[in-house]
Amino acid sequence: MHRNVSIFDDDYVAPPDPLRHAAATVCGKLAQACRNEQTEFALAEALASIATRCGHTTNLKLTAGARDEILRQLNIAKAVLPACLRDYPRAHLIRGLEAAELQTIVWAELPHQRAARPPHTILDADGYARILQNDMSTRSLLEAISDRAYDRRSDEIEAMVGIRTRRPIRDPDGIFG
């Protein structure tokens, strides 16, 4: 049963600031990718979060501080992720991350500043960032499918011989290496 909670109640918890939450989510996912923890999934999620907000709504303009923090995380990603994604073309990775940088800058602009940009620059950035997002999402899905197939085989082996197999350590060259 739900009850209305007043801001004067002791157990009141304020809802998160949507803009601060969005910026923190992007930074957190980029940091996760840079730690090589579910890299493809985390990067796809960060790029999707940027794309969802970067120009489709004028009432959620990024603050300069949030913009700078996301740009800093994207710069770290440009330096770190080529080593984590060695089998992914470096030029495509950098182009997609640079596109996300422009999307982030646009997300922090006022409507008249956005309107002053040539439309093709924003559309091209959206396209390049989306290509990288889609590639990372595809790779993440393929890895999940591979993991489930391994688990099914492992279960069959255990049922036949009574020995539980261990999941192998991920090859640093990725599932395509």
Ordered per-residue pLDDT tens for the chain, 177 residues: 455 555 566 666 666 677 888 899 999 999 999 999 999 999 999 999 999 887 655 567 889 999 999 999 999 999 999 999 999 999 999 999 999 999 999 999 988 998 999 989 999 999 999 999 999 999 999 999 988 988 888 878 877 887 777 766 665 555 444
Q: Note whether residue 122 is domain-resident.
A: yes
Looking up tokens 């290509």 gives 131
CA-to-CA dists, residue 77 to 45, 48, 88, angstroms: 14, 15, 14
Q: Would 177 be classed as within a structural domain?
A: no
Between CA 32 and CA 16 the distance in angstroms is 21
Asked if the structure places residue 120 within a domain, the reply is yes
Given this model, what pLDDT does residue 12 score? 61
**Closest C-alpha to 73, from 126, 5, 23:** 23
Domain assignment present for residue 34? The answer is: yes
User: Number of structural domains, the chain?
Assistant: 1
Which alpha helices (H) appear in the chain, and where do they start and end? Answer: 18-34, 39-53, 64-84, 90-107, 111-116, 119-161
The pTM score is 0.80
Q: Please give the residue range of the domain that contains residue 98.
A: 18-161
Q: Measure Cα distances from 31 to 43, 50, 71, 86, 159 in Å.
A: 9, 15, 12, 18, 40
* Tens digit of each residue's pLDDT (9 = 90 or more) over 142-171: 999 988 988 888 878 877 887 777 766 665
Report pLDDT for 6.
59
Q: Is residue 88 part of a domain?
A: yes
SS3 92: helix
